[in-house]
Structure 1
Amino acid sequence: MTAQVDATTDPRSRTDGLGWVSRAVFPDRRVALTVGGDPPVGHRAVAHYAVVPSPARARFLVPLGAPRAAAASLLAYNALRPPTVRALRAAVGGLARFGAVGLAPFPTLTVSVPAGVAAAELLLTERLADALGGTPLLAAFGVRPPDPNHKPTLQLFSADGRPRGYAKIGWNDATRALVTAEAAALRALRTVAGAADHPVPPGLLAELTWAGQVVAVIEPLPPAVRGVPVDDPPRIAALLAVARRGGPGTPLRPLAGSAFLAQMTAQAQRAAASGATGARAVDAVQALARRHGDTAVEFGHWHGDWVPWNLGEHAGRLVAWDWEHSGPDVPVGFDLAHDAFQRALVLRGDPAVVAAGAVDAYLDRHGDRLGLGPAQRRLVADGYLLEMWLRTWRLADAGAGWNAALHPALLDVIEKRHSG
């Protein structure tokens, strides 16, 4: 008879980031997780991880048993990370080259399965190895505070340290929708990745469902990719290529009667069915239609999260990742508006009202290069801000909770703009 897993030492019983990530990666309770101890009686160890720097302050789990893979999990793409994170990873990555001896100061998390049960039946890494051709894989994963909008991501490596992919795990309604959307976007982008000025997206290697989760395996970025500076000027040609899927522009069409307005109206009505806040969204969509219904703009696709930290450069080409909010039928210029809004909100810590003003200023400065006149710029700004609030509602409705920086502040901003 297999021994029961001890809940007092199992990190899945924790309420912090280590507990959240370990529950997502190892949801099957037949898998035993022990920190600093031996597997339970009746289990056999199948993987070991160094918990860096400690269970109480865990930042990442580093696979043990293959020093080159362990070092690569810490050093790969380090140039894309913030300086403080880069320094910590570089220091621990140097230790990882010496194998378990080098990482000995850190506690060890042991993963074990019941004797007689195949690891492939219980472990996501085994399923991913099968999906990527059968070569054994080692996984490393970062640890961050629990957040219903975050997706645990496994860095996958072969034993020689070669990156094999990133596995994003959708574990609740909100994140399952995001992972599914990114997989669909990457499939569609296969045909346009080589188009002039279009940023290079990573490829989709595999998509699977497992233990109630949706998992997408994304191609590794080029090893020599370098991030763009946070003050990088807008890449107008790339934005247009994304909007037009590498093709020519399309005729201008009025907001009234557009698929975009119809979709916004439907979403606001669904929001209204869930509470009084949604009724305010219905009023905001109607005000948008009254104010801009006759304004004609070009509609197209957008990346959906176009910000400097999702962009890089390699071999003279722009590289873009994290396409989970990508979609069609939005006014061209939404990505430019998002770039301005997020730089203000995230990088400078500005409140929503100031970030909305940054959108106006950015569009006034660069919008003419997208073919946007004054009326079109106002439509793009107002439509984008309303779309951002609806995105916030969609995530909250799917279980992610409200983004305190955007709700209710952004809805207040939208109402004041329409009343002005």
Structure 2
Amino acid sequence: MLTPPPGADARGAYLPELAGLVWPAPARPALRRGGRAGFAVVPSAARPRLLVPAGSRRAAAGAVRHSTEAQSAKARLRRAVLAAAFRTGLGRLAFRDRLVVDAGGDALDAHLAAVLGRPALLSIHIGPARANRKPVVQLLDAAGDPIGYAKLGVDPLTRALVEAEAAALARLAKLDLPGVQVAEALHHGVWGGHALLVQSALPVGLPRAAPAPAAEAERAAMVAVSRCVGVERRPYAGSAHDRRLRDELAALGDRPEAARLRAVLAEVRRVDPVLALGAWHGDWNGGNSAALADGRVLV
């Protein structure tokens, strides 16, 4: 089995587990130095943040460009420099660690090619340790353009999250969301005993709106999402949201923060404001949305 390199940080320690999930036995993932095969580990196997295809300059550059939604000017510059390095071949020389896979059995890339009806190159962003961490695989064509993203639910929590996201995308596909474009569910099923969702890539490379129109478009998009399945005006106490929060707080037991949160919820229930209760995204942030110059908001 793959073992973490000496001095590995938390993400480096997670790399063997991730490799085992994406390339299960009889596949044999291994770490090597240099070469064109497998995946370049950026910046290193001890501190992995991104796996990009080592054999294709364009795919590696595309994987970097579309790996995350950079929020600051510094982050965008750093991402552009790194993408340019891989496009010119310097990235392959600068980042020498490779994850090489002797594939066997039902490999994920072969399965994805079958369900999508086209081959796809894989790239994986390695996030920090958290309860909902799961493999999220970026799918690229030979030119480095994104095809979509595959998510694997590998334990009870992440399986539930993947299934809930698939259900939400299926429901949203049938609703009218003025000015809002959501990803399309390209495939939903099971692979290797894990829940698998493949969703389309949104056109994040299109020109963006200026700050003021972007803020206005984002607010309008939030309103559209909140109203997409109807709005109910009612007192807060006894609402579905109130009941759900009470159940979640009860599950926290006697932890100190739970007592403080229960006190806050009890005060809200005592005041009992009348609210408009609708739908919500749940994780609306700058990395999950983009306002385009043509007026659309990608969510």
Q: Report the TM-score, using the length of structure 2 for normalisation.
A: 0.80
Q: In structure 1, what is the equivalent of residue 270 of structure 2? A: 290
Q: What is the alpha-carbon distance in structure 1 between the residues aligned to residue 283 and residue 9 of structure 2?
A: 29
Name the aligned partner's letter for residue 32 of structure 1. Answer: R
| Alpha-carbon distance in 1 for matches of 2:155, 2:172 | 26
1:55 to 45, 48, 56: 45
The higher-RCO structure (CA 8 Å, 6+ apart) is: 2
Q: 1:68 to 1:77 in 2, by over 3 A?
A: same
In the alignment, which of 79, 83, 86 is matched to residue 93 of structure 1? 83
> What residue is the counterpart of 1:36 in the other structure?
32
Q: CA deviation at 1:153?
A: 2.1
Report if the CA contact (8 A) 1:179-1:215 is conserved: yes
**Could you say which residue in structure 1 is the equivalent of 2:198?**
217
CA distance in structure 2 between the aligned counterparts of 1:291 and 1:227, rounded to whole angstroms: 40
In structure 2, what is the Cα distance between the partners aligned to 1:14 and 1:236? 42
Question: Distance in 2 between the 1:93 and 1:74 partners?
Answer: 5
Secondary structure of the 1:186 match is helix
CA contact (8 A) 2:69 2:287 kept: no
Structure 1 position 156, deviation (Å):
0.6
- The structure with the greater share of residues assigned to helix is 1
Does structure 1 residue 301 correspond to structure 2 residue 285?
no
Q: Residues 92 and 286 (structure 1 numbering): CA distance in 2 closer, same or farther, change over 3 Å? A: closer
In structure 2, the partner of 1:196 is 178
Provide structure 2 residue ranges, at least 5 long, that are not aligned to the other structure: none
Q: Does 2:115 align with 1:131?
A: yes
Call closer, same or farther: CA 1:208–1:228 in 2, change over 3 Å.
farther
The change in CA–CA distance for 1:14 and 1:76 in structure 2 (over 3 A counts) is closer
Q: CA deviation at 1:318?
A: 3.4
| Aligned residues of 2:136 and 2:152 also touching (Cα < 8 A) | yes
Tell me which of 137, 154, 178 is aligned to 1:154. 137
**RMSD, matched Cα:** 3.6
**Aligned-pair distance for 1:233?**
4.0
Q: Distance in 2 between matches of 1:77 and 1:52?
A: 12
1:262 and 2:243 matched: yes
Give the whole-Å Cα distance in 2 for the aligned partners of 1:163 and 1:154. 11
Matches within 5 A, 1:13-412: 16-27=10-21, 28-36=24-32, 48-76=38-66, 80-98=70-88, 103-113=92-102, 117-118=104-105, 121=106, 123-133=107-117, 135-192=118-175, 194-197=176-179, 199-222=180-203, 223-224=205-206, 226=208, 233=215, 235-245=218-228, 250=231, 252-272=233-253, 278=258, 281-282=261-262, 284-292=264-272, 295-314=273-292, 316-321=294-299
Structure 1 position 227, deviation (Å): 7.7
In the aligned structure 2, how far is the partner of 1:72 from the partner of 1:277?
Answer: 43
State the secondary structure of the residue aligned to 2:245.
Answer: helix
Q: 1:315 to 1:271 in 2, by over 3 A?
A: same
Distance in structure 1 (CA, Å) of the matches to 2:184 and 2:163: 14
- CA positional deviation for 1:29: 4.5
Q: Distance in 1 between matches of 2:259 and 2:62?
A: 50
Q: Deviation digits for residues 117-167 of structure 1, max 9, x if unmatched?
A: 44xx1x32222222212x221111223333333333221112232311012
Q: Is the Cα contact below 8 Å between 2:31 and 2:97 reproduced in 1?
A: yes
Look up the SS of the partner of 2:92 in the other structure.
coil
Tell me: CA distance 1:59–1:210, structure 2 relative to 1, closer, same or farther (3 Å).
Answer: same
Identity of matched residues, %? 31
In structure 2, the CA distance between the partners of 1:230 and 1:157, relative to structure 1 (3 Å rule), is farther
* Matched-pair contact (CA < 8 Å) for 2:151–2:196: yes
SS in 2 for 1:112: strand
Q: Secondary structure at the match of 1:61?
A: strand
Q: CA deviation at 1:297?
A: 2.1
- State the alpha-carbon separation in 1 of the partners of residues 149 and 171 from structure 2: 19
User: How many residues align structurally?
Assistant: 295
Give the match for residue 386 of structure 1.
Answer: none
Change (3 A) 1:183 1:95: same
